[in-house]
Amino acid sequence: MKAKKELRSFIPAAGSFISLPEAFESADAGVRLAPKIELQVGKFPDSKHPLGFDFVMHPHQILIDLEAVDSGEFDAKKVIKDCELLMSACREHPDDLRKILAAFAEDAPHENMLAAEKIAEELDLTEARAVKAGGGLLWLVVIAAAVALSSCKGCAHTKGRTRQ
């Protein structure tokens, strides 16, 4: 039997987390800036920059910035539609959803991420398709993150950047 992998409990970050609204062009403006990807600068011999600098993105992790959400744009009907889409996929394609999750493991090859994109398209679980169906998956992610953070013991009892 394969030994169970220990899950990490922190992410050391050496770069900046930035929004890529172009990656979620179908998303509502109220949540388009919430997902952020870590971006670092590295030095590479094949870079076109005169000093050899290039950007490095870490696509296996995402930060959900709740301060970049316009709560006035929230539409519960869209989240209900997203839940219906996700419930349907959970009922009918749980193994495909597991493959999508596994594609973002630390040691997963990049090809698995490309395959996950195809699976999400086949299941109609892309942001663009969710929006066409009356939803918008980013709202579901943001609500889930806010609810999870609200139930975090200690997290909801801080003000701004506070050392507890």
pTM exceeds cut of 0.85: no
- Give per-residue pLDDT as tens, 41-53: 999 999 999 999 9
pLDDT above 60 for 34: yes
Contacts of 108 (CB under 8 A, 6+ apart): 60, 102
* 89 vs 61, residue with greater confidence: 89
Mean pLDDT, range 4-26, rounded to an integer: 85
Share of the chain above pLDDT 90, in %: 66
The residue type of 87 is M
| Helix, strand, coil percentages, rounded to 5, for the chain | 45, 15, 40
Mean pLDDT, range 9-22, rounded to an integer: 86
- Which pLDDT band, with edges at 50, 70 and 90, does 164 fall under? very low
For the chain, what are the domain ranges? Answer: 16-157
